[in-house]
Amino acid sequence: MKKLWLAIAASTVIVAGCNATNKEPEVPEIVEVEILTPMEAPLAPLKLEARVTQGGKDLEDAHVQFEFWQSGMRDDAYMLDGEYQGEGVYEVEVTPEEDGVYYMFAHTTASGMHVMPKQELIIGNPNMDEVIKEGPNENNDMR
């Protein structure tokens, strides 16, 4: 009798195991950040702008901070919170002090991901012989 109950219990476990679903965990789509700020602009107040999307849909609940500095002055960079404007666009206004090459990161956190695209900005008419240029991945730290 013990063997019969043991066989029934073992059969139940085997059948239950065969019915278990082996679902793959869902991987969220990548958060994409498109910088909308033009790469060249006059020496005047400037809007730093970025559109944040995920799976082709605008994100209105992202946290976007723009980091901004003049070439050669990375230690003087400052962070500004982007404000949501609608249609996935976040922006903040800055006022460059002089003609030059500037850089910005659009530090973006959304859906548990952090994305930080970098863009070079040529403001006004800088003397390019005097500009200390940075490479695309140089100073790619998260201050």
For the chain, what percent of residues have pLDDT higher than 70? 78
pLDDT higher than threshold 80 for residue 85? yes
- Average pLDDT score over the chain: 86
pLDDT higher than threshold 70 for residue 111? yes
For the chain, what percent of residues have pLDDT higher than 90? 68
Query: Which residue's entry shows tokens 């006059």?
Result: 42
Q: Where are the beta strands (DSSP E) in the chain?
A: 31-35, 40-41, 46-54, 57-58, 63-70, 78-81, 83-86, 89-94, 100-110, 113-115, 118-123
- What does the domain layout of the chain look like in residue ranges? 31-123
The one-character DSSP state at 139 is: T
**Topology classification of domain 31-123:** Immunoglobulin-like (2.60.40)
Quick one: pLDDT at residue 24?
80
Give the pLDDT confidence of 1-57 residue by residue, as tens digits.
555 555 555 555 555 555 556 678 777 899 999 999 999 999 999 999 999 999 999
Structure tokens given for 90? 């976040």
Contact (CB, 8 A) for 123 and 41: yes
Average pLDDT over residues 124-132: 86
- CA-to-CA dists, residue 47 to 14, 42, 81, 84, 91, angstroms: 63, 12, 12, 13, 6
pTM (2 decimals)?
0.76
What's the pLDDT band for 142 if we cut at 50, 70, 90?
Answer: very low
State how beta strands 46-54 and 31-35 pair: antiparallel
